[in-house]
């Protein structure tokens, strides 16, 4: 029984380039590109981060004060 004609030759398949050789040029993305270059932008990001940290600390303090009071009151 002969092999089907649709079957490709192993050497022919092995000589074809891999898929990664045919991909279009990818743009190089980096985390460094996300960092702003001006000092004013960096200072603004630092200010926003500082404000957020203060809000988180105040919220934690309020929760730590009132959570036990509410827990004791409900018992």
Task: Tell me the pLDDT tens digit for each residue of 8-29.
Answer: 566 676 666 666 555 556 566 6
Cα–Cα distance for residue pair 32/75, rounded to 1 Å: 53
Instruction: Inform me whether the pLDDT recorded for 59 exceeds 60.
Output: yes
Block residue for tokens 């827990």: 71
> CA angle at residue 38 from 32 to 39, to 5 degrees?
110
pLDDT the model gives residue 31:
74
Condensed to tens digits (0 to 9), the pLDDT of residues 24-50 reads 565 666 777 777 778 888 899 899 999
CB atoms within 10 A of CB 35: 10
pLDDT the model gives residue 61:
96
Cα–Cα distance for residue pair 13/10, rounded to 1 Å: 5
Q: Which residue has the higher pLDDT, 66 or 10?
A: 66
């Amino acid at each position: 029984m002969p092999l089907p004609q649709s079957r490709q030759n192993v050497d022919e398949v092995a000589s074809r380039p891999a898929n990664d050789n045919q991909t279009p040029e990818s743009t190089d993305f980096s985390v460094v590109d996300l960092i702003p270059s001006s000092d004013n932008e960096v200072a603004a990001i630092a200010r926003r981060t500082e404000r957020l940290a203060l809000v988180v600390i105040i919220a934690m303090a309020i929760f730590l004060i009132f959570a036990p009071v509410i827990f004791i009151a409900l018992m």
